[in-house]
Amino acid sequence: MLADSLLSIVDRLIELAQVRSKQRASVFNRLVQPTFDDLLAVHNDYITTLEHAEGLLSKAISDDGKVRAKRLAEAGAYLSEKRLALEPARQKLIALARIIESEKTGVSAEIQAFLHSVGQYLCLGADVQARPSTAATSILDHIQSNPARSLDYIREVLDALRMNWAKVCEAFMRLKIQVSSEV
């Protein structure tokens, strides 16, 4: 009798663990993976766009720091046009990060950390709740306010994006490994 009760309790605990594992896998597949995939597209677009803009800016600023206005305008126009390509995806990801940051309920600490890293990536480390400045917007602002330093600034932004991308990937892989090890 006691042994049957213990076996029944063990069976229920195993079922509970399986249900939780399935729930985590479901959240991963419905929230984490699609978010990562969307950000991967944004990241690829950022790097490609900003590396091209870096090349344009290197032609706009001579070695002695003199600015060629026409070349600078070309770089600004290119960024202005290209930054719109994935704007809806970026805004969706920023909104998701803001919601998770403000609510902090219903998702694990690991998922919160992943979504926080997504917000930090998109807002270049700024507070996700604040008005975000995306990479292209901040570079455009810099081209207008400090053109002679624009080339250095775009390189700093590229470095920051790569560093923040590494943080996103690390948080994503923690979740992926966690879900994979439970299956």
Question: pLDDT (tens digit, 9 = 90+) per residue, 3-42?
Answer: 665 555 554 545 544 555 567 678 889 889 999 999 999 9
User: What is the reported pLDDT for 149?
Assistant: 87
* Separation of first and last alpha carbons in the chain: 33
C-beta atoms surrounding 23 within 10 Å: 10
Which tops the pLDDT comparison, 111 or 125? 111
How buried is 106 (Cβ within 10 angstroms: 0-12 exposed, 13-18 middle, 19+ buried)?
A: exposed
In single-letter form, the type of residue at position 54 comes to: E
Tens digits of per-residue pLDDT, 71-122? 888 999 999 898 888 888 888 888 887 777 777 667 788 888 898 899 888 8
Structure confidence at residue 128 (pLDDT): 46
The larger pLDDT score, comparing residue 60 to residue 7, is at: 60
> Is residue 73 within 8 Å of 92, Cβ to Cβ?
no
Query: What span, in angstroms and rounded, lies between the C-alpha atoms of 11 and 13?
Result: 5
Query: What is the value of pTM for the model shown?
Result: 0.80
